[in-house]
Amino acid sequence: MPRPNPRHPNFPIPGGPVLRAKGWRQEALLRLLENVLCVGEDPENLVVYAALGKAARNWASHRAIVRALREMEEDQTLLIQSGKPVGLLTTHTKAPLVIMANCNIVGQWAKAEVFYELQRKGLICWGGLTAGAWQYIGSQGVIQGTYEIFMRIAEKRFSGSLAGRFILTAGLGGMGGAQPLAGRMAGAAILCVDIDPERAEKRKGIGYLEHVAPDLDTALAMIEAAVKEKRATSIGLVGNAAEIYPEIARRGIVPDIVTDQTSAHDLVYGYVPKGMGLAEVKSLREDGQGQLMAASRASIVEHVGAMLDFQKRGAEVFDNGNLIRTQAREGGVKNAFDIPIFTEAYLRPLFARAIGPFRWMALSGEESDIARIDELVLEMYPDNRIVTNWIRLARENVPFEGLPARIAWLGHGERTALALAVNRLVADGELQGPVAFSRDHLDAGAMAHPNIMTERMKDGSDAIADWPLLDAMLLSSSMADLVVVHSGGGGYAGYMTSCGVTLVADGTDAAAERLGHALTNDTALGVIRYADAGYEESFDEIAAKGIGHVTVG
Ligand code: NAD
């Protein structure tokens, strides 16, 4: 039975044994589509996260997708173009049920202004990474990544512990909302600034944020007390980061770690310029785009100026994947790229082994299914320190949103083995229902983004988007249930291409075959991509795991 959704009452959380589609594979994708709206930021407008990342082009497209998923046979494939269903064709039972191409604009035209115009005409929509691909699981989707970044910094700078350390960040939206909980789980005192009081209250309501301070003085006093007592805490503050960061710097306070996760990538629908109220910004989004872009960029210049100032005074400062340095550089901040990107600075050795954000969703809607899989992960990987530590922390600290789900960074072979073991649990009736698997698009072979994922690759291949395209074709050939190619929308237009995949473990032999091929080949491609760029860790992985890498010359 669907469960009530207190956050968005019009969007009940799917679950239960009753199928509305003609098979579990189709039903699973339908539930995932419902779920991204259940846990989304503005479901009434189909917006899931990252300012404009949408689940479908419009409500008519959404209704047509739901109809198709309910009516389609297992030997058909549904084609989705930028959030609109355009074809339901006969393929075969081992073909993907859904293939999608979202927001891919040819090179010279791939600019924010062109995107906004195409969107205004109703011809395109941006799927973010996981919104349009129906893979978003709420703020949990990035939480382990954020936690691992903090822990890598702890190891690099603070003898392995963030107890008594102050993290300053901004953005409490769909993804940024993971920061207060990740910071607290890492043992730090974290201050999160957001201009929108509703977002701060929302994160507090779902248990990701502990306190909302009434003003900056109180917030800093709360942080100071926690730092002194080496007590982990998360404090929200309503304000504009372009004002608050410089003010903290002006007071001579230097946080230990500084980052930002406002929607700085989108100067119109995401970032809020200083001095403007939310209502004023909203009213300018349709008719005053040029004015908003200029104002947002000017604010980002000050925002990043303060981040550089903190860096100069010894803070560990990093870009957490929102294009804020790029926007600042275009606004004239020549040294914006003195701030490193998190992927290169902390996580690349993991990606070079194709260890990345893998995730699973209990389609039954039962939290007990995730608890059983948590146990399974601990049984299967007792020596994997990153994943055992994470699962133990997550089951204690991470509240569920929407369909119960878990994320854990696993690599080549590990993902396949886990998914096959879960498929057996489904077959044996040990779980209440099937389980869907996907991963973030920010994964080894799956993303080209020269200012985030592939910045400063060893061989200079940062901007080459062949890899996510190869990944999508490989996944389609490897029987995945849903395969998608996304490119950037809004301010990300022209900056990125990524590939996403979803698989359904329904307990059948056919599912085992799909999971085995698709998950294995997906991570194999990830390792090959990094080997091709010259990363030693990838060659080790190829040798240790017998990955079919072709060498030339
Ligand atoms: P969102 O649009 O849901 O939330 C953005 C938040 O920023 C909102 O709450 C908004 O009120 C706040 N904000 C905007 N301007 C502000 C300002 N000047 N001062 C203070 N607060 C301000 O977006 P999201 O889903 O949380 O994503 C945030 C950014 O992170 C996006 O650019 C997204 O692309 C990026 N992202 C990075 C990763 C990663 O792996 N590192 C993953 C997902 C998203």
Under 8 Å between Cβ of 54 and 83: yes
532-548 tens-digit pLDDT: 999 999 999 999 999 99
Binding-site residues for NAD(+) sit at 174-176, 194, 199, 240-241, 261-265, 271-272, 490
CA 38/CA 14 separation, integer angstroms? 9
Going by their DSSP bridges, the two strands 405-410 and 356-362 should be labelled as antiparallel
Going by their DSSP bridges, the two strands 482-487 and 447-448 should be labelled as unpaired
Mutation test residue for ligand 1: of 52, 175, 304, the one with most atoms within 8 Å of CB: 175
Burial class (CB in 10 A: 0-12, 13-18, 19+), 215: exposed
Q: What confidence score (pLDDT) does residue 25 get?
A: 98
Q: What confidence score (pLDDT) does residue 1 get?
A: 82
Q: Is the CB of 240 under 6 A from ligand 1?
A: yes
Q: What confidence score (pLDDT) does residue 395 get?
A: 96
Confidence (pTM) = 0.96
Q: What confidence score (pLDDT) does residue 41 get?
A: 96
Ligand 1 atom nearest 299 alpha carbon: 18
Cα maximum dimension of the chain = 66
DSSP H or E segment with residue 501: strand 497-505
Task: Give the distance (Å) from ligand 1 centre to CA of residue 437.
Answer: 25
CA 389/CA 402 separation, integer angstroms? 24
CA 171/CA 237 separation, integer angstroms? 10
SS3 content of the chain, % helix, strand, coil (to 5): 45, 15, 40
Ligand 1 atom nearest 303 alpha carbon: 18
CB neighbour list of residue 465: distance below 8 Å, 6 or more residues apart: 448, 497
Which residues of the chain are modeled with pLDDT < 50?
A: none
Which of these, 439, 493, 42, lies nearest to 266 by C-alpha position?
493
CA 462/CA 377 separation, integer angstroms? 34
143-157 and 178-185 helices cross at what angle (nearest 10)? 40
Q: Is the CB of 407 under 6 A from ligand 1?
A: no
CA 218/CA 28 separation, integer angstroms? 46
Domain boundaries, the chain: 140-340
Q: What confidence score (pLDDT) does residue 553 get?
A: 82
Whole-angstrom CA distances from 507 to 21, 75, 269, 369, 503 are 17, 19, 42, 14, 12
Q: Is the CB of 245 under 6 A from ligand 1?
A: no
Q: What confidence score (pLDDT) does residue 286 get?
A: 86
DSSP H or E segment with residue 53: strand 53-54
CB neighbour list of residue 446: distance below 8 Å, 6 or more residues apart: 439, 467, 468, 471, 498, 499, 500, 522, 526
Which of these, 293, 25, 89, 272, lies nearest to 170 by C-alpha position?
272
Going by their DSSP bridges, the two strands 98-102 and 482-487 should be labelled as parallel
Which of these, 183, 154, 182, 155, lies nearest to 167 by C-alpha position?
183
DSSP string, 177-223: THHHHHHHHTT-EEEEEES-HHHHHHHHHTTS--EEESSHHHHHHHH
Under 8 Å between Cβ of 139 and 50: no
Q: Is the CB of 96 under 6 A from ligand 1?
A: no
Q: Is the CB of 411 under 6 A from ligand 1?
A: no
148-202 tens-digit pLDDT: 999 999 999 999 999 999 999 999 999 999 999 999 999 999 999 999 999 999 9
Q: Is the CB of 320 under 6 A from ligand 1?
A: yes
Ligand 1 atom nearest 322 alpha carbon: 32
Q: What confidence score (pLDDT) does residue 222 get?
A: 98
Cα-only R_g, the chain: 22
Task: Give the distance (Å) from ligand 1 centre to CA of residue 506.
Answer: 35
Q: What confidence score (pLDDT) does residue 529 get?
A: 98
Task: Give the distance (Å) from ligand 1 centre to CA of residue 367.
Answer: 28
Under 8 Å between Cβ of 125 and 489: yes
CA 219/CA 493 separation, integer angstroms? 36
CA 514/CA 416 separation, integer angstroms? 10
Q: Which residues pair with 190 in a beta bridge?
A: 167, 234
Ligand 1 atom nearest 196 alpha carbon: 11
Q: How many CA atoms lie within 13 A of 536 on its CB side?
A: 0
Q: Is the CB of 151 under 6 A from ligand 1?
A: no
The structural architecture, per CATH, of the domain 140-340 is 3-Layer(aba) Sandwich (3.40)
Binding-site residues sit at 174-176, 194, 199, 240-241, 261-265, 271-272, 490
Question: How many other C-beta atoms are found inside a 10 Å radius of the C-beta of residue 367?
Answer: 14
Going by their DSSP bridges, the two strands 233-238 and 211-213 should be labelled as parallel
Q: Is the CB of 171 under 6 A from ligand 1?
A: yes
Mutation test residue for ligand 1: of 148, 150, 201, 261, the one with most atoms within 8 Å of CB: 261
